[in-house]
Structure 1
């Protein structure tokens, strides 16, 4: 890291990033990067177990956090340039505001736990990483990070940017402070789309001009993209926005919900679920862990569990470490199961569905053992019904319409937005996974599952030699 010449009196250092090139960080930001809480992020992969499918996907939330600061600054510069060109219509972001926004961008993912999207979003075992409880704990004066933020006078502002309105202890801040960082199109997604594409090797180009489209509405304080020029629709800008949303869907389909990534995450999530139910593992136990160390935590907790649970957890962890994933026996996608999807989710999703999952898994295992003489383990995997839905929440100024409104309000005028919404909903899949790769066993699991989930339509055909 070397000093970088800057026009202002502020001191910056430069970091070389493979995605964005040189990224400039203030010395305050470097102080925060050096805290144990931020250094832990070097051990949490941005895409969780996706590296088992895409070997290059080893980038971390530490990298992404720095990239988010870089994109946030580019957006701030564009917003301020737009203000200079037309001061009557917008708002300018001051240096002190930029200081807060950048720091919040650096810290927006610091509350993540390993495999968090599997454990929190898809299985709902714990509170989400962006819950107020997580941030309160992370920014507490009892932590090195909290003390550094307090010393910089940023603790309250950063907490307020990263938590939702109405949160206890949160003060009102301008909407655009948060919107620069999170939303349909913001610094977070602009970095991770480019970063995920780079490290998975998938072809995706994000037009950097998108950074220059942002403005702040003086009346509401909302960040928005101006789609109007001379009372005409800026179709080039609209197309670029939709193209980015299509890219997000493309990655959801190809990477974020790849079946092997789902199966790998299901192993870890099931191990945690079993240990939590026996009260030998708690949410707080995972806060200081990394992708590597959390597996050791699970094995140690397994030693305190019942012998059966302990053996199951050790097997699940070993399978993850050696990439011996459970195989697909059944796949029940949303597009073939609209009539029964809600029933499946209500019965089998999240912790509330744990008992129902255990019962049906036990029946399937017992009937397969009776029919084939083979002992198998089954995981019924049911994600949240709305886990894929990504509404177009970015605000826009539409020609002929007063003020700024959410882009989703104009979906009837942009058919591709409607198509994307339907496509996201169709990504939902209910799985029955099995620890055997034997085709006859998998087909027997299919046969038994058909009786356990009447009305559900499986679309998966077991290939010779297993899935």
Structure 2
């Protein structure tokens, strides 16, 4: 039901809310609406601007009008992107993401995994805007700041803003009706509008720096080519910042130098001298939360990846995170009842890694594509492009076609591998075992030392020994939920931590496993059998499989072995 209310002072709607264009009458009009994704509270009052008191530029838009664009997203439905996001989307830097599959090599095993980083960036920008809109609408400090109060708020004022944090009636008071207060109100709105714009752009641009086949480029090609982790450009977040700077130089993007630095910090999830000036430092944890890993990037990619690969595996509800979160201090906190939902999210991440991202056929394809790119790197300069934005913009998944149809003699070996991949003549899976941390240094050379005398002689280059670490997002098996702060009561600012045993007795006590996976580059059954025998002998006789402070005792169960004598087809 619609209601109307008039007042002398216009108070705008909360940042990012889609509101109608300004009206000529100096009347504040309220309209009730049903809750939806990204909206703050059921029954929140939305209001129209006036000619004398226009809304901030990015909020003075109407859904579907030409100054923005509506995207029909497969996960979030019809979502609105404001014009400053559309200007970024319509650049070669962002359009390149159409040619980067979100899951890279996974598509060679899961045909449904055809989604790309173009749509993931738009989805992340949408969730970033939704989360910040919700957080700002529930922040006491933001509400009182908008009211331009001087001095600490009285208890009654805190209660009013907490009940409806940006309620225009609650924010309209005698102390905020003079001209100075109005100027302060407009200034504060400009700051909040800027924050919303920057965090959306950070979500949009956070994956600009991914190379061909995404994480294969970072974690396999570059290390194989001797690019160490301390080299700038080694990780895709750093290259995203590089391409963002290049984009700002080449095109009219709604960012000045300071704002560009802030967006970079939001992408990297870091606190720098520039971002230290932010009033709302929680913005640095919206897209890339370095502390707990709970961020909108993860909300989108886990939901999207599960939809296209294992439709029944997305066992968490990201919309509840948007609705049951607040900013307390400089930290994003969640309602205590969302603790189990957070564990479900990290459990979904673990399942996706075990069942999809590190599927044994996926890894076989991944190793073959890596070998092909390593062989072609000297001619194509893939690894040399990480600090050259012009060269890097030329790279995408189509690099395989460039190799396949090239007449360059030096690319012959790489071309042969790609043709072998297309015929589904994959590297052969030898076996896998769960191993302790002490086995992290086992190499192909160590494995060949355990081969028996026979008709074939294994060489280290015949084998691939891969150490796969799967966890809940924190190295060393730490519990990421322990890094999250929770609140129990909406009416107080007290926060608490939780332990897994307080949530459920079914939650695991350790959050990491190490899997040793072995593949044979030679498909000859004799070589595969020799490798499998060497692997089994090493598992059975090597005391190093137990923790280093003790030996394997008599009758003690050895690490779990998963031999497979079938060809991966």
Q: TM-score range by the shorter chain?
A: 0.7 to 0.9
Secondary structure of the structure 1 residue equivalent to 2:485 = strand
In the alignment, is residue 163 of structure 1 matched against residue 268 of structure 2? Answer: yes
In the alignment, is residue 179 of structure 1 matched against residue 277 of structure 2? Answer: no
**Equivalent residues of 2:100, 2:116 under 8 A apart:** yes
**Residue in structure 1 matching 2:308, options 199, 208, 215:** 199
**Equivalent residues of 1:327, 1:435 under 8 A apart:** yes
Q: CA deviation at 1:272?
A: 3.4
Taking a change above 3 Å as real, the CA distance of residues 258 and 96 of structure 1, as seen in their structure-2 partners, is same
Find the aligned partners of 2:395 and 2:164 in 1 and give their Cα distance: 43
Secondary structure of the structure 1 residue equivalent to 2:441 = helix
Secondary structure of the structure 2 residue equivalent to 1:371 = coil
**Residue in structure 2 matching 1:129, options 225, 235, 245:** 235
**Equivalent residues of 2:96, 2:396 under 8 A apart:** no
Find the aligned partners of 1:387 and 1:206 in 2 and give their Cα distance: 17
In the alignment, is residue 15 of structure 1 matched against residue 71 of structure 2? Answer: yes
In the alignment, is residue 190 of structure 1 matched against residue 303 of structure 2? Answer: no
Instruction: Report what 1:442 is aligned to.
Output: 528
Q: CA deviation at 1:419?
A: 1.4
Secondary structure of the structure 2 residue equivalent to 1:155 = helix
**Residue in structure 1 matching 2:334, options 213, 216, 225:** 225
Give the gaps of 5 or more residues in structure 2: 1-17, 22-59, 62-66, 144-158, 167-190, 228-232, 475-479, 546-558
**Residue in structure 2 matching 1:64, options 120, 132, 144:** 120
Instruction: Report what 1:138 is aligned to.
Output: 243
**Residue in structure 2 matching 1:112, options 206, 210, 216:** 210
**Equivalent residues of 1:45, 1:291 under 8 A apart:** no
Taking a change above 3 Å as real, the CA distance of residues 99 and 136 of structure 1, as seen in their structure-2 partners, is closer
Secondary structure of the structure 2 residue equivalent to 1:292 = coil
Secondary structure of the structure 2 residue equivalent to 1:419 = coil
- Counterparts of residues 325-336 of structure 1 (less than 5 Å): 325-333=426-434
Q: CA deviation at 1:179?
A: 1.3
Secondary structure of the structure 2 residue equivalent to 1:139 = helix
Q: CA deviation at 1:130?
A: 4.1
Secondary structure of the structure 2 residue equivalent to 1:104 = helix
Q: CA deviation at 1:19?
A: 1.3
**Residue in structure 2 matching 1:77, options 117, 133, 138:** 133
**Equivalent residues of 2:462, 2:522 under 8 A apart:** no
**Equivalent residues of 1:149, 1:155 under 8 A apart:** no
Secondary structure of the structure 2 residue equivalent to 1:73 = helix
Using CA pairs under 8 Å that are at least 6 residues apart, name the structure with larger relative contact order, 1 or 2.
1
**Residue in structure 2 matching 1:94, options 178, 192, 200:** 192
Instruction: Report what 2:464 is aligned to.
Output: 380
Find the aligned partners of 1:210 and 1:293 in 2 and give their Cα distance: 37
Aligned residues: 424
**Residue in structure 1 matching 2:562, options 430, 450, 460:** 460
Secondary structure of the structure 2 residue equivalent to 1:433 = strand
**Equivalent residues of 2:87, 2:253 under 8 A apart:** no
Q: CA deviation at 1:192?
A: 1.2
Q: CA deviation at 1:289?
A: 4.4
Q: CA deviation at 1:66?
A: 0.5
Q: CA deviation at 1:437?
A: 4.9
**Equivalent residues of 2:456, 2:527 under 8 A apart:** yes
Taking a change above 3 Å as real, the CA distance of residues 338 and 421 of structure 1, as seen in their structure-2 partners, is same
Alignment deviations for residues 56-78 of structure 1 (CA, whole Å, 9 cap, x no partner): 11000100011111212221232
- RMSD after superposition: 4.0
Find the aligned partners of 2:105 and 2:495 in 1 and give their Cα distance: 39
**Equivalent residues of 2:432, 2:562 under 8 A apart:** yes
Q: CA deviation at 1:325?
A: 1.9
Alignment deviations for residues 214-242 of structure 1 (CA, whole Å, 9 cap, x no partner): 1111x3x1111132xxxxxx3xx222222
Find the aligned partners of 2:422 and 2:205 in 1 and give their Cα distance: 29
Taking a change above 3 Å as real, the CA distance of residues 281 and 98 of structure 1, as seen in their structure-2 partners, is closer
Q: CA deviation at 1:382?
A: 2.5
In the alignment, is residue 253 of structure 1 matched against residue 354 of structure 2? Answer: yes
Taking a change above 3 Å as real, the CA distance of residues 450 and 240 of structure 1, as seen in their structure-2 partners, is closer
Find the aligned partners of 2:465 and 2:394 in 1 and give their Cα distance: 25
Secondary structure of the structure 2 residue equivalent to 1:462 = coil
Q: CA deviation at 1:30?
A: 0.7
Greater shift, 201-210 or 98-107, is seen at 201-210
Structure with the largest fraction of helix? 1
Q: CA deviation at 1:290?
A: 5.0
Instruction: Report what 1:51 is aligned to.
Output: 107
- Counterparts of residues 274-289 of structure 1 (less than 5 Å): 274=375, 281-284=382-385, 287-289=392-394
Find the aligned partners of 1:368 and 1:118 in 2 and give their Cα distance: 34
Q: CA deviation at 1:35?
A: 0.7
Find the aligned partners of 1:41 and 1:320 in 2 and give their Cα distance: 24
Secondary structure of the structure 2 residue equivalent to 1:392 = helix
Alignment deviations for residues 291-346 of structure 1 (CA, whole Å, 9 cap, x no partner): 432224556999575xxxx554333333334433212113132xxx21642332xx
Taking a change above 3 Å as real, the CA distance of residues 96 and 61 of structure 1, as seen in their structure-2 partners, is same
Find the aligned partners of 1:368 and 1:278 in 2 and give their Cα distance: 39
In the alignment, is residue 419 of structure 1 matched against residue 517 of structure 2? Answer: no
Q: CA deviation at 1:88?
A: 6.6
**Equivalent residues of 1:380, 1:433 under 8 A apart:** yes
**Residue in structure 2 matching 1:396, options 485, 489, 497:** 485
